[in-house]
Structure 1
Amino acid sequence: MNRREALKKSAMALGAAAGAPTLLSILQSCAKQDRLTWTPEFLDEDQAKFISSFVDFLLPKTDTPGGLDVKSDIFIDRIYARTYDEAGQKNVIAEIEKFNNDCKSKYGKVFAELSAEDKAACFRDHEANTAKFPKGVWGSAVGPQEPVGYYRGLKSSVLWSYFSSEEIGKNVLSYDPIPGPYQGCIPLSDVGKTWSL
């Protein structure tokens, strides 16, 4: 199997599983993990540092929690450990090594050790030179689908884990629990505009 096919299969496997309850249970199990005693299930220490640095640079803590606060790095490690087959896992290790080697050749250090300016330059370079996700209509891709590569796939997974976390869902985003409370008799003026579906 060539690298392009491996990337394509890994991306399709992640995409197919994205809505599965398994991913949600992995995400929920990350919320209970104590950060100080976290030991990666799949990644080695240097690879885990890469993922944590990537997450922290993409979603730093501001007045809202950052990616590390909601444990997106732990989630990514568990996804690799529990949903990727052996070929997919080998591909992840090769892609992390390739990413770090690229950083070493351009900036002199692996990604986790780069300054904020060099990390920003690295991200800009990958944004400009990697394939993007195809345009979609209602969640379905439209047109030809090129493999997006490791950088964009990792970025997408980090964002998905962040916005799917309980902390962000309840305390940062607008949260309207479904089905919500039943209020059978309220004045029409309290209803406001009709809700869009």
Structure 2
Amino acid sequence: MASSLKYSKEDEAKMFESITSYTEAVAEGKEATLDDETSRFAFANNVRGLTIWGYKTSEYIGEEVMAYLPVPGEYIACADTQELTGGKAWSL
């Protein structure tokens, strides 16, 4: 799985193009194939993305690690992130 995520940006771009064309062909009802290397990359990339999303949306991380405000307070348009949240990203 780790080796499926170790590609250069150019290789990743080619794989994403291949995945997009495959998805479009399937949506149009055409016969499409995807090589094994690209399908492994797509699977590993999706698992990684879902894992990060699950981590960021967990209760502990949302309340203890990220900046959390259960009831939104005042709106400060032009302030530094470091000043507002101590450099943390906002939790949803």
TM-score range relative to shorter protein = 0.3 to 0.5
TM-score, normalising length: structure 2: 0.42
TM-score, normalising length: structure 1: 0.22
